[in-house]
Amino acid sequence: MKIAIIGLGYIGLPTAVMFAKHRQKVIGFDTNKEVIARLQSGFIHIEEPGLQEAFQNVLENGLLRPVSQLEPADTFIIAVPTPHMEDHSCDTRYIRQAVQDVIPLLEKGNTIILESTVAPKTTTGVIQPMLEEAGFTVGVDVHVVHCPERVLPGQIMMELVHNNRIIGGVTPECAIAGGQVYQTFVKGEMVLTDASTAELSKLMENTFRDTNIALANELVKLSAELDINALDVIEMANKHSRVNIHTPGPGVGGHCLAVDPYFITTAAPEQTPLIQTAREINRSMPEYVAQSVDVITNSTAKKVVILGAAYKGNVDDIRESPALKIAEHLQKRGIEVHVYDPHVAYYNMNPEIAFADADMAVIATEHDEFKRLPMSLLTSMANMQIFDTKNIFEGDHEELTYITLGTLHRYTNRPRSFTHKKA
């Protein structure tokens, strides 16, 4: 089977590599010529454990070819970006372009799979009409499937194989055809359904998480007001066998949690007040963190170092990153802000410069490098204060003031006349 992957980003490239690892002939197409050139030279352009080695192997044995010109194939897998528009609705322009690129190459019996996360009814409302206008009968001439990606950055190579897959066909025959494609390597259960159900299922997976994180973040705010440690509350509540309050943080990022709920709310705004409220709570957290910096420092901070630019620990993805939004809010307050992230090339600055004379360090991303910090960096700060929004720091120093989202109440409701260590 020859497979064409359209879009070689965080999902498309690992997917292409995985098919090639399992002896399928794969071409990887991307409109970004710099990406193609880098891949053709043997190097990936994203950070993902195990991906570089696997990519080199399939590149060298000829099973994967990065190309700048799409070619005929048996199966076309679309994994292009689906950003949200100004009104937060799903922007389908990259999907439409991909389908337009595929149509001249289509032959009867081909399968088109959309992996990009989309609003409900996109497969049947956007892709199917384009194909039918070109003269193809979906379910007879060609098969059209929505199979949403369901992987966690940092564990993609393992989860591609072992996670369950939802195979949503425009027709039952389409779903069966999609299942035959993924059975080449997927060991998890393959759930066959219709395309619209598959679309909404993926969106609700991330909306569930976004909503539960919003509950935890609202708990942080109310606990600070009530002089209670929110993290202690969560730990104790979660000892109940039927309770699982999620972990609070500085907001949510990435293309999933920060975007997917909007694809639901814009499709049915009157029916989704809870989802909309959850989104507003999580969107408010970067500003809340910036406000907390003001409170903790009595509005005297002149320089703050933000530790992390990526939206998630140990990856280089900065899409919708709350860390960068925190930086923006602090800069609007006239504070000099340095963002340091060893995983993101643009923000991999000299940490000595970032920490020197800083009034506070804000841990905004849970990178392993931030669990402990060199004492030379901490002692170079004007005020040795760490505001850890991820609750990961393991260091200690008698002069260190350590604040978490659980201990904000000590600064909101009491005079700031003491320092404390992490328990």
Active site residues: 202, 256
Tokens of 236: 């104790």
133/194 Cα distance (integer angstroms) = 21
**Residue for token digits 């990065």?**
66
422/375 Cα distance (integer angstroms) = 16
What letter would DSSP give residue 138? Answer: B
**Residue for token digits 């199966």?**
75
Tokens of 308: 């992390």
| Contact by Cβ (8 Å): 265, 88 | yes
Locate the DSSP E strands across 260-384: 303-307, 336-340, 360-363
266/270 Cα distance (integer angstroms) = 9
Locate the DSSP E strands across 174-283: 190-194
Q: Count of alpha carbons within 13 Å of 112, Cβ hemisphere only?
A: 31
H/E run at residue 198: helix 195-226
DSSP lists the bridge partners of residue 100 as none
CB atoms within 10 A of CB 299: 10
Q: What is the CA radius of gyration of the chain?
A: 24
120 Cβ partners below 8 Å, 6+ apart?
196, 199, 200, 203, 263, 264, 267
| Per-residue exposure over 54-82, b if at least 16 CB sit within 10 Å of its own CB, e if not | bbeebbeeebbbbeeebeebebbbbbbbb
